[in-house]
A and B are shown apart, each in its own frame.
Chain A
């Protein structure tokens, strides 16, 4: 009994093994992944074929390839498969004598055929009687499958192709052949006796090449080869649907997922649900002749160069800088991007709808920047001529360097007011080309009197936001509205000298450790105490605050929540004058509150200034300069969260009092 069951199990396994291997042999219906649908394999040895596309020996997918009939075996398929009723098996007797031209037609006909979609089940839709077939013959061509007739190297009609041994046009020319570019054309290798056409060159008794061709059946050495087929479509592509007027679109959609040239050109119309603009929408402008355009804000695109046709998005504040390539003597007076009028002579539609009011762009402020970099605001009286002007061949004046739009919007999504401020300056060929232009747009809500105060977190600090700092006055803590005016680090400049101003500064951002510095030339240190004080000012920055908010949104009134910057440096204490060599801010912060939404909080902040104890010449090791560094470090001091264990359960089991009765 057990032995029988074991045998049963064994045969089950064998059956599974065979059926896995035999999926292709059984060929149940249109196979979804079209495993090994190659019916004919061609051995091509010509190395001069142009592209791999040409060497693809199989006809395009879609051409039906019924399995070649093994010569001599005489095993005829019992009946046609149901799906390919109109598909006669191509036999040599039905073919015309000269088979080349129809074969070529077959090879070129299905150029419009879609490629096979491996993921989709190809469902050949049969043409209905009413629909007119798109092919002129009204039917699809039959496939050439006989290995004796396939000749992939025959590329010229009624002419002998060199070294193409299967070309039937070749007669006398065979004597010129050196080898056969196609040596074998064989049928399905999975059959036990696949048909094969072999071509080779021999030498005649006169020394000329002589063609030796034969069509025979091979014998397969594979144990699991196929002796006979009962499903003929298992090895051929399913019969393609005949394209008609009615099913062409669906066929096209079925087999096409992405092609060139089918981009969606239609502009996103969007739902006209609200009259006002919505967040991220383009804003409309009104041209002089009443045509509607789009409000552009130049921005960098694929490269850092300015893309002028970049639309500004409603309610998206942006600061973008991009470079512009200018040929100064040509573009100075003609390039619109350099002119002030380009940015001021615009009118915006207050809303999306057709009859929206037109809001002109008002000129807010014009700041002139001198060649040396100093900026003065211009008193506007409407008389100035501020168009770019070529002073000499090297310098262009009144060029727009920075544009700032401020837009006021209403809760209905309407633009109420647009103001533009401009920075004009000089552009010289030697130093400021390619020209760097800055564009900024900010949106301000209507009827908000107070300038909004920027938080750096709510409540805990957010990484990357500037520290909130202030200084103590008799009235309490005061801080600047501008979030960039806070505790800051010295920026780097081309001129690395510490004592040459003005210095650029970058705000200290929460969570980002940074370092920067400048160099001090020793020959500048003549008056030590003066240089010491000067350096200290450079390192600390102007308006050095003494208090830092412990949370990102600490109110000014809550004075206990402001942390004083502890400093250990007092220049008066030192006996001899000392030069500060480094300025380091050490900020300790901790996570506060629950584990899930922990809020970073600044616990303490310490300023460490190292000054020289010996002479500077010794410190710099004989060099004429010494480097001064300024740095900031954020140190997390939060204690790790403790796992909350439950109390160990106690065993509350008591034995009955008389459990050990006879003994105790």
Chain B
């Protein structure tokens, strides 16, 4: 188009391109926040115990446990959520599970669902319930499965910049339902993935340890971290400088590399801050001058 042609000719626009995608009207923006995450103490576990498809299962939902009948196997679970940097927000979930097995049983695959409550406060208040789905299977029976990963926010559309966003503050698994379809993993995942905001266990790096001794339980250890998130939201901040010659800035160049965030140093902060500082200062100078003139004339009048 015409814009593209002019872009090639003018070196000024090129300079703006590799600076940063500074846009004239900011319609989308991002911010960083560590979410407030709490494990909801709701879990669903399914383990295949033979190559023929025998399985044992357990959940924190009594209605499902009743339905499982002979396939119910109650594990021993210990959970700890840790606030490592003492900032009041939890950083790590340590989930340990020991599943007792009969002599003829071996664990070939594990499916685990954990539910979390997830809250963001910085821009809009986001309150939702989310889940983590862990699945691992192996052709060799295992003794232990270790999983360590991050609970990442998956965002399909930007969040509002203010207000309460609680459309997903509903149970991911309906534990009050007596029907088997409510605990069907396919149904749960399908309706969950339908949401705009979900969480996912990223980089779980499962470690499948083989060689279980007879009589010892199958162990599942999971460490799930709650890291800092970059959240997209629409912004209504409008750039204050207006010049018709800078329309080239509207061009967007999608970043090819994955962006990584960093803490800018003092001088970099100053570099971008002084422009705003001066622009606000000038307004205040003018404003206070008016006040002083006014008060001076007032006092003169009173005298």
Contact = CB atoms under 8 A, between A and B. Distances in A.
Contacts of B22: none
B184 A301 contact: yes
Given A5-B292, A302-B46, A303-B55, A313 B179 contact: yes
A259 B41 contact: yes
Given A116-B88, A258-B41, A311-B179, A300 B184 contact: yes
Nearest to B55: A303
Contact of A33 (B55, B62, B68, B88): B88
Contact of A264 (B67, B89, B176, B289): B176
B276 to A, nearest CB: 12
Contacts of B285: 2, 5-6, 9
B289 A260 contact: no
Contact of B292 (A1, A282, A302): A1
25 contacts: A1-B289, A8-B288, A9-B285, A9-B288, A34-B87, A37-B86, A52-B82, A53-B82, A53-B94, A58-B86, A119-B121, A258-B40, A260-B60, A260-B79, A264-B176, A265-B62, A268-B176, A300-B184, A301-B64, A302-B184, A303-B53, A310-B178, A310-B179, A310-B181, A311-B178
Contacts of B64: 301-302
Given A1-B292, A6-B284, A6-B285, 17 more contacts: A2-B285, A52-B82, A52-B92, A118-B89, A257-B117, A258-B39, A258-B42, A260-B60, A263-B62, A301-B64, A302-B46, A302-B64, A302-B184, A303-B53, A303-B57, A310-B67, A311-B179
Contacts of A325: 52-54
A263 B88 contact: no
Contacts of B119: 119
Interface of B: 36, 38-42, 44, 46, 52-55, 57, 60-62, 64, 66-69, 71, 77, 79-82, 84, 86-89, 92, 94, 117, 119, 121, 175-176, 178-181, 183-185, 277, 281, 284-285, 288-289, 292
Contacts of A119: 36, 119, 121
Contacts of B121: 119
B38 A258 contact: yes
Contacts of B67: 301, 307, 309-310
Main secondary structure of the interface of A (DSSP, over half): loop
A581 B88 CA distance: 70
B87 to A, nearest CB: 6
A38 interface: yes
Nearest to A36: B86
The number of chain A residues touching the other chain, given as a range, is 35 or more
Contacts, number: 123
A624 to B, nearest CB: 36
Contacts of B41: 258-260
A8, A58, A263, A325 — most chain B CB neighbours (10 Å): A263
B291 to A, nearest CB: 8
Interface in A461-481: none
Contacts of B117: 257-258
A299 B292 contact: no
Nearest to A58: B86
A4 B296 CA distance: 14
Contacts of A627: none
B86 A38 contact: yes
A56 interface: yes
A86 interface: no
Nearest to A10: B281
Nearest to B59: A302
B82 A2 contact: no
